[in-house]
Amino acid sequence: MNCYEGIMTLDGDLSAGGEKEHYLGKLHRFMCKKLGKGHVGDQRQYLYYRWPGQDYVFVRSAVAMPEMGIVDEVSVEMSEGQELFVKVPVRAIRRSGERRKVLVVPESEMEIHGTELLERNGFAVLLCATSKDLCGVLDRESRKEAFNYYELSARVRVVDAEKAAHAYCSGLGRGKAFGMGLMLCQPV
């Protein structure tokens, strides 16, 4: 499975931002304008993440896009038994039993939530840690809406290579349209 990775620099007011929060609705509209709609059906076309306070966005996509700036083609080959260090921003919500309803994950359960998320996507978790609660802000029309997310860091072993490669290319968890779920992997 192949994917493309690149770095995009941000325009004007998007490059300003605090360390604690960043305005994801504005960033989402910028990404849609530059790269188009983020999905076709259920398939993600691209993922992105902006580290708070940085004036660039890291992008991973299914196809090469000239708007991404410097682009590298990456061959995603994961084999069963391979050990990796993984870092991923995860939205601190989970589905409830009711339709269209989500529950906020309490800080005490974030490691459990992250472990379950990785295990559903073809990994066995050997060691897991989460950062403190971070805050993102969605600016929807005239109102601002804050939401919590955390950075999940883990040492994992691949148990299902196909699922793991798919998770790497198309992201983990919810909120991918707003910059969540992009996995950064490094071999042990």
Alpha helices in the chain (DSSP H): 24-35, 110-120, 161-170
Q: Is residue 155's pLDDT more than 90?
A: yes
- pLDDT on residue 25: 64
Please state, in angstroms and rounded to a whole number, the distance separating the CA atoms of residues 87 and 38: 22
Q: pTM here? A: 0.76
DSSP helix/strand/coil, 97: coil
More confident residue, 141 or 173: 173
- Give me the pLDDT at residue 20, please: 39
pLDDT of residue 64: 73
User: Which CATH class name applies to 83-187?
Assistant: alpha beta
At 83 the pLDDT is: 94
pLDDT per residue as tens digits for the range 17-74: 444 345 566 677 777 777 776 666 556 677 888 776 677 788 888 777 777 666 677 7
Nearest to 106 by CA among 133, 87, 127, 128: 133
Residues 6 or more apart whose Cβ sits within 8 Å of residue 133: 92, 107, 148, 149, 150
Structure confidence by residue, pLDDT tens digits, 80-134: 999 999 999 888 777 777 776 777 788 888 899 899 999 999 999 999 998 876 6
Residue 124, pLDDT score = 96
Contact 78, 156 (CB under 8 A): no
- Half-sphere exposure in the Cβ direction for 38 (13 Å, CA): 19
Res 46: pLDDT? 79
**Is a pLDDT exceeding 80 seen at residue 182?**
yes
